Structure 1
């Protein structure tokens, strides 16, 4: 794929979209750590220096891919949360909402992978303008999730809903590395009869979100 230099705003937007689409497609075959800026540039058909006209680093590209994925996940999860059936138990609605969120996240391993690498990897080599843009996108996604949760649990105050939306990211990021252990670690863990790593991750994520949300509802009541 060959490009002429983008000059008009719509051309710049199209070029950025092409770079993001290529980066996202490459993630289907390898982790973020295995994709260099040089390889990405070759795939998109641009020199490395030209890619850096649109993003200040490799990390900035994948942060924007993350935010696109997060926004798409919110599109998917919104009707699932609203349709989640609450059991007639204490805090049943909170349990249903948190469980629906966890179940949906489990179907998006790439999103979990990107979330887990945000603070330690992807945010380590970006410029101030990319950081500001990232903060704006992340805040918009956090606010959207908070609004969704608060719509289902009106007793939850705004601060509590925002805290939970942030906790979804933090809990997912913290737990995800354990879902993909090295082969030796996985074998050693299986010997005493522990559940497979993926199963343990699913349980821990669900329990973490449920307990976090119930606690916040109790504090808001």
Structure 2
């Protein structure tokens, strides 16, 4: 489990093609502190398992399923990525409950800068917008953010200078793909309520 508070920007140093998967090598500093083989690190919001550590570089294998369902299939050597270690029981939950299980891929729309923040519009797959509410939480590329507005096809978030400086959203451009994870509590509530709602309709 994660909190959506990005710890550092890592850099993709190598990508090995394994035919039905890729081996992703990422240079990092902060997230390697106290990290061992088998630990989880979120990369742009995708929970990956550490399979090797060599100096300041760690490696993860990314399966075809993850490549097909997330933006990790589009990363290139030299790309910077958001990194977060799995939360520990004694850590403050600064963001919200994030699983690192991507629900869909959106894309960056308009960026509207102002003196103290930047409003960014994100195109969202229609199947996911029912889980998004104004002032609710959304995870974008592994970043826990508060939704400002939501429509049937998009949402907006306001980004403070700290978020712009410390995450990939500081340099993402219109059309760039981003990983989205909606609030898992909303999905559980929907599943539990559907049988009851179906009975009410009959």
Q: Is this a same-fold pair by TM over 0.5?
A: no
Normalised to the residue count of structure 2, the TM-score between the two structures is 0.24
Higher relative contact order, structure no. (Cα contacts within 8 Å, ≥ 6 residues apart): 2
Normalised to the residue count of structure 1, the TM-score between the two structures is 0.23
Task: Select the structure that is richer in strand.
Answer: 2
Task: Select the structure that is richer in helix.
Answer: 1
